[in-house]
Each structure stands twice: as structure tokens, then as C-alpha cells.
Amino acid sequence: MPYINVKITDEGVSKEQKQAIIKGCTQLMVDVLDKNPATTFVVIDEVNTDNWGIGFDQVTELRNQALNSGTK
């Protein structure tokens, strides 16, 4: 009965990408721990880039400063 919470920035994640995350996390629980998918929950939280900080800065600013950086 795993519960998996995925927090990501809200930068245009599509319904199909969310489905792929759900499928992938659930399959991982089946493959690694032999868990029952029927009682495996995956919850995705999309966080505004103003509300996520890394290295002292808001992701909004990191995106503005370095659109092509490897920080995603």
C-alpha cells in the first residue's frame, strides 16, 4: 500500500506526462517491492515557480537568469 507524492514545478505538465508518472511510480512499486497496484497511490503536486526555492533563489528567477541552464 505505498503512497508516493511527487512534487514538481507547474511548468506545463500535460495530462499524458502525469499519467506516465503515475504508471512509472506504480510499476516501480510492483517490480521492486512486489506491491499491489490496486492499493498504490501516486499524488502529484504542481508548485508555482515563485514558491519553490533552490540555492537561495526562487525557480522563477533561476528560469529568468538561465533559460538554457541544466537546472530543471
Residues taking part in catalysis? 2
Residues within window 17-56 making contact with a second copy, judged by CB under 8 A = 17-29, 31-47, 50-56
Compute how many other C-beta atoms are within 10 angstroms of the C-beta atom of residue 40.
Answer: 19
Is the sign of the CA dihedral 9, 12, 15, 21 positive or negative? negative
Residue with cell 530543471: 72
The residue (of 61 and 65) whose beta carbon lies closer to a second copy is 61
Shortest gap between Cβ of 34 and a second copy (angstroms)?
Answer: 6
On whether the CB atoms of residues 15 and 21 are closer than 8 A, the answer is: no
Question: Does residue 6 interact with a second copy by CB under 8 A?
Answer: yes
Among 64, 65, 66, 71, binds a second copy (CB under 8 A): 71
